[in-house]
Amino acid sequence: MKLLPGPLRRRNGATKEGAKVDGRQRQDELVREREKEAEKKRRKDALLEIPIQTIGWLDERTGGGPFLRGFLYRKVPRGTNWFYTLGSATMFAFVSQAVTGVFLAMYYRPSATEAYPSVQHITNDVFLGEFVRGMHKWGATVMVVLIFAHMGRVFFFGAYKYPRELNWIIGVVLVVLTLMMALTGYLLPFDQRSFWATVVAVNLNSSGPIIGPYLADFLRGGAEFGATTISRFYAIHMLLIPGLIAALIGAHLYLVAKLGTTAPPWLKAEKRRELAQEEI
Amino acid sequence: MPGAFEGETVTRRAFMTGGVLAAGGIATAAFTLPALGFALGPVFSRTEARNWQDVGAEGDFNPLTYTSAVTTIDPYTGETGKTTVYIRRRDPSRDTAKELLKYPYVAISTRCMHLGCPVRYVQASERFICPCHGGVYLFDGTVAGGPPVRPLDRFETKVQNGRVYVGKRFSLNSKLEKFKPRDPSNHLDGVWQYIYPSRPTT
């Protein structure tokens, strides 16, 4: 009897004297029932508290709460519209490129003799390889299109003006870095198209007077386009520029949060008309 | 605060600040400068001149058309380290450029002088044609049309024991005067020869 766990054990005399249960016993049972339910509720509440407590624990130790509140709940001007999402869209494209790029690097081999076979392996054999490579390849184009759309939005809305000039400059550097990513990534499949397209790109650099040929030597990693070129492009594409882009995106976002966004230009025009009417 | 004690010229605080900055600067430079040199090294290095490469017997070539031969420009990169050279025997009636008389064979590089794509020889029109941006060259490698800035590069040639050998690359201006090798897209006529430095190449 004692070996059985509690719930399976018969209560003392529960069956034998079942008919003779008096009112007091029944009341006890009801109290016990109620206690059980209260305990259940307590446990549920405690469970729900866990995420809040975790956030509280982090907040107490980082002091990040006010910063995040200021960043996420900042006021936006009237007239903010869908064009204002192009910057976030570009950043999302970058994050997607970073994630797919890291996973492509697990199968890619950056050498003149092995790059092409390894890309074929990714495309033809690896599970979902064609899909991940496709996302990276088309995502590159998407990112370039989005970053220029974002730049156009900022330009035509006049959002580059005082006090946001520095953010415009950081943005221009990000455009240049994005195009450098597009250039260095184009060589990596090392097929005929990417090989000769990059030969052309490097020779474009060498058409600059005096320093051009030296610049081409730097890009090729020597006199000839070959093994050193692809590992050099891979290191630039994989390590150097992504780090710079991530750091500059951080600075870009900081300034956006610090300075806020601008209202679309047509709102100012409306206001001026009202003022003009008042003056009349 | 100079003057905490007699003859003091630099405060303790300024000295410590300077010391920390100097130490940090030296430590950063100690790994940055070698790394930069490592990355920029190829710009300053001289590559070895290309060895003479055997491309075939004398009988394989004639003065009327080009025969292609494959040579190695970089032995460490497999197929991508090889290139095609178009070769024909010198035709004394056609090839009269003074500086090139000493070469018994005409060996033309396939590197297009616009931006470096590989040109292909078409016998029917006696022209070299580039697939990338439409550069066209005449039979002797001078520009017939399109964007190329100078005639196709050539290689030195010699004959030894009945075999034809192809050697170092050289560049030509539009008068077929010989120059040290230049990158594609570099003009060579007039003052341009001084504006674009020659770089080691194979």
Tens of pLDDT, residues B129-165: 999 999 999 999 999 999 999 999 999 999 999 999 9
Count of Cβ atoms closer than 10 Å to residue B49 Cβ: 11
Report yes or no on A10 lying in a domain: no
A97: in domain: yes
Q: Cα–Cα distance between A90 and A148 in angstroms, integer?
A: 9
The pair of three-digit structure tokens given for residue A180, joined into one six-digit string: 């450098």
**Residues in chain B closer than 8 A to A196 (CB atoms):** 117-118, 132
Q: What is the pLDDT of residue A267?
A: 82
- Would you call B137 helix, strand, or coil by DSSP? strand
Q: How far is B10 from chain A (nearest CA, A)?
A: 37
Supply A95's token pair.
Answer: 């994050």
A contacts of B197 (beta carbons < 8 Å): 210, 213-214
DSSP class of residue B51 equals P
Tokens of B87: 């070769």
For residue A267, the domain's CATH number is: 1.20.810.10
- Please give the structure tokens belonging to residue A277: 């009417």
For residues A58 and A100, membership in a common domain is answered with: no
First-to-final CA distance of chain A: 99
pLDDT score recorded for residue A4:
57
d(CA B127, CA B131): 13
Q: Are residues A245 and A127 in the same domain?
A: yes
A222 and A126 together in one domain = yes
User: Residues A112-170: pLDDT tens digits?
Assistant: 889 999 999 999 999 999 999 999 999 999 999 999 999 999 999 999 999 999 999 99
Q: What is the tens place of the pLDDT at every residue in A12-39? A: 555 555 555 678 888 899 999 999 999 9
Contacts of B118 in chain A (CB under 8 A): 196
CB-based contact B75:B81 (threshold 8 Å): yes
Of residues B35 and B43, more confidently modeled: B35
| Number of neighbouring beta carbons within 10 Å of residue A261 | 18
A16 found inside a domain: no
CB B184 within 8 A of CB B115: yes
Q: Which domain holds residue A53?
A: 23-62
**Amino acid sitting at position A102:** V
Give residue-wise pLDDT tens across range A205-220: 999 999 999 999 888 8
Same domain, A96 and A43: no
Instruction: Please identify, among A7, A32, A62, the residue that sits at the C-terminal boundary of a domain.
Output: A62
Contact A224 B76 (CB under 8 A): no
pLDDT confidence of residue A222: 81
Q: Are residues A159 and A234 in the same domain?
A: yes
Is residue A17 domain-resident? no
| C-beta of residue A246 within 8 angstroms of C-beta of residue A173 | no
Domain-embedded: residue A74: no
Let me know if residue A11 belongs to a domain: no
Contacts of B93 (CB under 8 A, 6+ apart): none
Say if residue B75's pLDDT is above 90. Answer: no
Q: Per the domain annotation, does A12 fall within a domain?
A: no
**Which backbone phi and psi does A232 adopt, to 5 degrees?**
-65, -45
Residue in A112, A210, A222 closest to B42 by CB: A222
Residues A58 and A99 placed together within one structural domain of the fold: no
B199, B201, B202, best to mutate vs chain A, most A CBs in 10 Å: B199
Q: What is the pTM of this model?
A: 0.81
CA distance B104 to A178: 51
User: Residues A32, A97: one domain?
Assistant: no
User: Is residue A28 domain-shared with residue A93, that is, in the same domain?
Assistant: no
Distance CA A103, CA A117 (A): 17
* Same domain membership, residue A161 and residue A27: no
- Alpha-carbon distance of A65 to A56, in angstroms, equals 9
Q: Report the domain count for chain A.
A: 2
Mean pLDDT, residues A171-175 taken together: 98
- How far apart (Å, rounded) are the C-alpha atoms in residues A192 and B26? 46
Contact B161, B88 (CB under 8 A): no
Q: Which of B78, B115, B198 sits opposite A203 (nearest CB)?
A: B115
Minimal Cα distance from B187: which residue of A? A207
| A53 domain-assigned | yes
Verify that A37 and A156 share a domain, yes or no.
Answer: no
Q: What is the pLDDT of residues A247-262, one digit of tens each?
A: 999 999 999 999 999 9
Distance from CA of A167 to the nearest CA of B (A): 28
Verify that A141 and A218 share a domain, yes or no: yes
- Short-list B163, B144, B154, B140, CA closest to B201: B154
**A162 versus A226: which is more confidently predicted?**
A162
Q: Are residues A170 and A216 in the same domain?
A: yes
Q: Please, which residues 222-251 of chain A have a Cβ atom closer than 8 Å to chain B?
A: 222-228, 232
